Chains A and B, each alone.
Chain A
Amino acid sequence: QKEVEQDPGPLSVPEGAIVSLNCTYSNSAFQYFMWYRQYSRKGPELLMYTYSSGNKEDGRFTAQVDKSSKYISLFIRDSQPSDSATYLCAMSGNTGNQFYFGTGTSLTVIP
């Protein structure tokens, strides 16, 4: 079983839609949860960083962590064509220096 599972999609939505992206994980030691956005042939760009359970909002983006279910989500409101990219979840523990990534979800927002 992989440490982090993420549905690869692809996901296609109309402009203005609410997008929900999700990851599950198996390691209960994970404490830090990140979402990165990666455009084609570019490096990942940090979107959201959260610690432990709860919600964090930044503009149109909301990150949600449910440690009891080992489940994290990223919501994108009022999606724009410029949001079209691959979204990667990542997580790490207190003692490890390694980030564990999901496989990424490919999102296309259609104008």
Chain B
Amino acid sequence: DAGVTQSPTHLIKTRGQQVTLRCSPISGHKSVSWYQQVLGQGPQFIFQYYEKEERGRGNFPDRFSARQFPNYSSELNVNALLLGDSALYLCASSSPAGGGRDIQYFGAGTRLSVL
């Protein structure tokens, strides 16, 4: 079975540009979460979506937005890129257990470099 797939694997942008990252969850998983991992740090929660509805949002500015599609895939959008947005962006999908009982499985991530 395919795991969580993310695209692209690596992206280089310049300050002020916009970027869209994509994620396909494990088959049967209806929940997708997005995390930002800066080098040397643990992942920081950005969003969680379940059944196309936002279920949680971390402490990130409005430049970050996301959506989930009917097939449960998801996109993360970041506008007006800053140098500090350079990071590994991780997508995790989880089984529909809900709440803290979710077990999240991660993709390999998209490495975003902002120049």
Contacts and interface: CB of A to CB of B under 8 A. Distances in A.
B33 A97 contact: yes
B43 A44 contact: yes
Given A43-B107, A44-B106, A95 B45 contact: no
Interface in A72-95: 88, 90, 92-95
Given A8-B40, A99-B33, A102-B42, A43 B102 contact: no
A97 B42 contact: no
A31 B40 CA distance: 26
A34 B106 contact: no
A104 B88 CA distance: 15
Given A49-B103, A92-B102, A94-B100, A101 B56 contact: no
A43 B109 contact: yes
A45 interface: yes
A32 interface: yes
A97 B102 contact: yes
Given A98-B56, A99-B33, A103-B40, A46 B103 contact: yes
Contacts of A60: none
B56 A97 contact: yes
A31 B88 CA distance: 27
A96 B42 contact: no
Nearest to A36: B106
A97 B101 contact: no
B111 to A, nearest CB: 7
Interface in B25-76: 31, 33, 35, 40-45, 48, 50, 55-56, 58
B57 to A, nearest CB: 9
Interface of B: 4, 31, 33, 35, 40-45, 48, 50, 55-56, 58, 88, 90, 92, 99-109, 111
27 contacts: A6-B42, A32-B101, A43-B107, A44-B43, A44-B90, A44-B106, A46-B105, A49-B103, A88-B42, A93-B100, A94-B99, A94-B100, A95-B99, A95-B100, A97-B48, A97-B50, A97-B99, A98-B48, A99-B33, A99-B35, A99-B43, A101-B43, A102-B42, A103-B40, A103-B42, A104-B41, A104-B42
